[in-house]
Structure 1
């Protein structure tokens, strides 16, 4: 998955502006996600990428870059 596709998912799921979604943006601190938002975001990323994000790995997926790296490496 590339950054543009990830950005599209994040904008749709978190209802944020495209310019707010950067590689360094933190889902909770910068983009205002709560636990339900994160659950829905993970589901959308999994559906789009075909990669399951394991519950035990979720604490390490903090930024948009973290999510991209996770999908690329799993």
Structure 2
């Protein structure tokens, strides 16, 4: 993966999937803010797993409430 930050990559994927403006995506933005239902979140997680070559633990997915939580968890998984 390029030198792009984890947040920037996640942000791009959110913009592509949910059609929000890039400047509106913040670490504090919740998945509810995006209008994401549980299926949307699962599909986003699958895309993130592919993009970062990681595997989310099922019980952790439910605890991710906002974009920042997802970025922090991805960084945690990448560093293990």
Normalized against structure 1, the TM-score is what? 0.88
Considering only CA atoms, is the larger Rg found in Structure 1 or Structure 2? 2
> Once the 2 structures are TM-superposed, how far is the Cα of residue 7 of structure 1 from its aligned partner?
0.3
Structure 2: gaps of 5 or more residues:
none
Please name the residue that 1:17 is paired with.
Answer: 21
| Deviation per residue, 1:8-66 (Å, 9 max, x gap) | 011112222212210100012x1110122111100111010111111111121111110
Q: In angstroms, what is the RMSD of aligned CA positions? A: 1.2
Structure 1: gaps of 5 or more residues:
none
Distance 2:19 2:46 in 1: 16
Please name the residue that 2:55 is paired with.
Answer: 52
For these two proteins, the number of residue pairs brought into alignment is: 73
Moved segments of 4+, more than 6 Å: none
